[in-house]
Amino acid sequence: MVNKWLEHVKRFREKHPQMSYKEVLQRARASYTPVEKKIVISRPERREAQRIISESKKRESERKKAERAEKKAVKDALKSERERKKAEREAEKERKAMERQRKLRLAWEKKQAKDERARVKQVKKAEKEAEKERKLLEKERKARLSFPKKVARKARRLERERKKLKGGDLVGGNFLDDLGKIASTVAPFVPLLL
């Protein structure tokens, strides 16, 4: 096995033949890249080293496994937190929608109740107006029916009075005058009686 340093010194000296050996050793050090030295280990030491290395690799793999499990747990926790927040948002949205629906239903019920009250009021008003109209028509009808009766009663009464005054004589100017007056007051209402 050839020594790399000695080969490097030999090549450096061939390039600079005028330098002394001491100078070549000193200057060659600057341009030399050292080679890793191999450590020679005995078999028991090698086995111990391999055991230590395998244990350290095992510990490292376990540590990485634990880190992955921890990262996964954190990720799962974040995911479950996001899902919980999403469920809360959806529940809040649903609650607001139900509240809106309830308010709309209450507003609709209030409007229906108001419309019902207005309708009942209108019906009552229409009933009152119809009752007034009916009473007025009844009054008018009674007036039409009772007017000739009143006139006839008044005429009979006047006739009785005349008979009392004149002794029952039907022929006379006063009776005819009274009858003419009655007829003139009744004449405007005769078309209503027909």
Which domain range does residue 7 map to? Answer: 1-38
- pLDDT for res 144: 66
Q: Cα(160)–Cα(178) distance, rounded to whole angstroms?
A: 13
Mean of pLDDT values over 53-74: 92
86 & 139 share domain: yes
Are residues 162 and 119 part of one domain? yes
On the question of pLDDT at 120 being above 80, the answer is yes
Q: Kindly state the average pLDDT of the residues 97-108.
A: 93
Answer whether residue 79 shows pLDDT above 80: yes
Q: Give the residue carrying structure tokens 């009473």.
A: 135
> Does 83 share its domain with 163?
yes
pLDDT tens, residue by residue, 29-44: 888 887 776 666 677 7
Q: Are residues 56 and 28 in the same domain?
A: no
Whether 16 and 51 share a structural domain: no
99 and 163 co-located in one domain:
yes
Please check the confidence at residue 151 and state whether its pLDDT lies above 50.
yes
> Hey, what are 114's tokens?
């108001």
Task: Identify whether residues 16 and 74 lie together within a single domain.
Answer: no
Q: What would the pLDDT profile of 159-194 be if each residue is shown by its tens digit? A: 787 777 765 444 455 666 777 777 777 767 766 666
Q: Do residues 135 and 86 both lie within one domain?
A: yes
| 5-23 residues labelled b (16+ CB within 10 A) or e (exposed) | eeebbeebbeeeeeeeeee
Residues 109 and 134 grouped into a single domain: yes
Domain count, the chain: 2
Tell me what percent of the residues of the chain surpass a pLDDT of 70.
Answer: 84
Verify that 48 and 132 share a domain, yes or no: yes
Q: 152, 137, 145: which is closest to 185 by C-alpha? A: 152
Q: pTM of this prediction?
A: 0.34
pLDDT of residue 161: 78
Q: What are phi and psi of 88, to 5 degrees?
A: -65, -45
